[in-house]
């Protein structure tokens, strides 16, 4: 297609086709929208209480307690003896307890007691960041 026939002879204007630029910009926006909507999938439904503090930097051991008081290690349902065996086998000195906010506090204290007995020095309770 010859665009020069639409321009007057006196002007030295150039026509820049930005269709490809608009297509690329649309693809980038679409990609970012899809990536932003993807969130990590958790197989254990736990509702965390809120906290305003920052998250920890170290990668500690994790024990999850669901709303029914069941214990999970690495996504596998375990009992107190298996939690104790897992914590004693690991060479970590820190633990994060991820407990549902509806769990009786006694269940959290049981895990804290087991952790102290096997030599865990730092115990944290996971919270959801909020106001």
Same domain, yes or no: 72 and 124 = yes
**pLDDT number for residue 90:** 86
> Could you list the residue range(s) of the whole structural domain that residue 10 is in?
4-37
pLDDT range class, residue 78, cuts 50, 70, 90? very high
Give the count of beta carbons closer than 10 Å to the beta carbon of residue 56: 12
Same domain, yes or no: 54 and 115 = yes
Q: What DSSP character marks residue 83?
A: H
Same domain, yes or no: 81 and 105 = yes
pTM over 0.75: no
Same domain, yes or no: 71 and 124 = yes
Same domain, yes or no: 17 and 73 = no
- C-alpha distances (whole Å) from 74 to each of 6, 66, 82 are 69, 13, 12
Domain-located, residue 107: yes
Domain-located, residue 62: yes
Q: What is the mean pLDDT of residues 60-79?
A: 91
Q: Which helix (H) or strand (E) holds 97?
A: strand 94-99
- CATH assignment of the domain containing 62: 3.30.420
Q: What is the mean pLDDT of residues 56-66?
A: 78
Same domain, yes or no: 56 and 27 = no
Whether residue 21 is predicted with pLDDT greater than 60 in this model: the reply is yes
């Amino acid at each position: 297609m010859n665009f020069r026939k639409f321009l007057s002879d006196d002007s030295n204007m150039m026509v820049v086709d930005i269709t490809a630029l608009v297509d690329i910009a649309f693809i980038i926006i679409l990609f970012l929208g899809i990536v932003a909507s993807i969130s990590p999938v958790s197989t254990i439904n736990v509702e965390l209480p809120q906290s305003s503090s920052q998250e920890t930097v170290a990668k500690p051991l994790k024990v999850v307690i669901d709303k029914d008081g069941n214990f999970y290690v690495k996504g596998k349902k375990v009992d107190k003896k298996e939690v104790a065996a897992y914590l004693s086998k690991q060479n970590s000195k820190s633990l994060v307890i991820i407990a549902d906010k509806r769990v009786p506090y006694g269940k959290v204290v049981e895990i804290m007691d087991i952790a102290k007995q096997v030599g865990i020095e730092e115990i944290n309770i996971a919270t959801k960041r909020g106001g």
